[in-house]
Amino acid sequence: MKVLGDYHMHSNFSRDGRASVIEMVRAAKDKGLSEIAITEHGFGAWYNGMRKKNFDRWIGEVESARAEMPVLMGIEASLVSRSGRIDIDDEALKKFDIILFGVHLAVIYSLRAFFFFFMPNMFWKMIRWTPAGRKRKNTKAVINVIENNRIDIWTHPNRYFKLNVVDVAKVCAERGTLIELNTKRISFRPIDFERMLRAGAKFIINSDAHNVNRIGETTRAEEFLKNCDYGEDDIINIKNTFTEYKKKNDNDNAGRNQEQDTEKKPKRWHRWL
């Protein structure tokens, strides 16, 4: 399977990345990708996050790398509170072309989220079973993030803490948030994927590359999709780059909004009634 773009990868500005920005970009170009996003871990990731003091230098390197190919400036934010707060402030968010969000372990949570979100989830994770009540709370926390922030892609759903992916998918469909098929690990079943599609969600295949070798990797997604009923339009980067999809989607939404506004306007003859 060939994708036109890969929109989840980390350079060595994320401290678990193994290559520089320009090395990642040149590898993507050599592999024939049309567009990529460099998406570092957020500032609140204490183990592998990008440091704020390096932010401006990272911006400069991404901008310079655009001489090689189209490169989006991105971030993979993390949940830090159950109310929907993420580890990137509003001012910094304005500088990104694409915003990813996922639940992670090594994050500086709020005190309340640490004791009432992180710790209970770690307990259930250790015994490899999550009760329905905990799943509902996790689902609500993720929905809060998507509803309260501009999130372009929800990364590796269900990977660390379990939740109801279909309920989140409904909100993703409403908000225009894509759901990731992460080619490192897909933590939901084919039937869940099909249910999310029926809820109106769209998907995107990403490598989550931390080195140049994994950029554009699709093998795990291909194996997963063999067991699924889907169309190529359900996965946006098979036929489009993210930029192309976003532009088309924004235009379609603008057209629908205009039609709705027109329907609300009274017909001319109403003025004479």
pLDDT one-digit tens code per residue, 23-35: 999 999 999 999 9
Q: Which domains does the chain have, with CATH numbers?
A: 5-262 (3.20.20.140)
Query: 3-26: string of b/e by CB count within 10 Å (b at 16+)?
Result: bbbbbbbbbbbbeebbbebbbbbb
Average pLDDT for the chain = 93
Predicted local confidence at residue 251, as pLDDT: 76
Q: What is the pLDDT of residue 263?
A: 60
pLDDT of residue 15: 87
With pLDDT > 90 as the criterion, what percentage of the chain qualifies? 89
Give the model's pLDDT for residue 258.
60
| The pLDDT of residue 253 | 66
160-204 pLDDT tens trace? 999 999 999 999 999 999 999 999 999 999 999 999 999 999 999
pLDDT of 269 strictly over 80: no
- How far is CA 234 from each of CA 79, 98, 116, 197, rounded to the nearest angstrom? 26, 20, 36, 7
Sheet containing 71-78: order of strands: 5-6, 35-41, 71-78, 98-102, 153-154, 178-182, 203-206
How far is 67 from 73, CA to CA, in rounded Å? 14
> Quick one: pLDDT at residue 209?
98
Please give the pLDDT value at position 256. 59
**C-alpha–C-alpha distance, residues 168 and 29, integer Å:** 34
Number of Cβ within a 10 Å radius of residue 39: 31
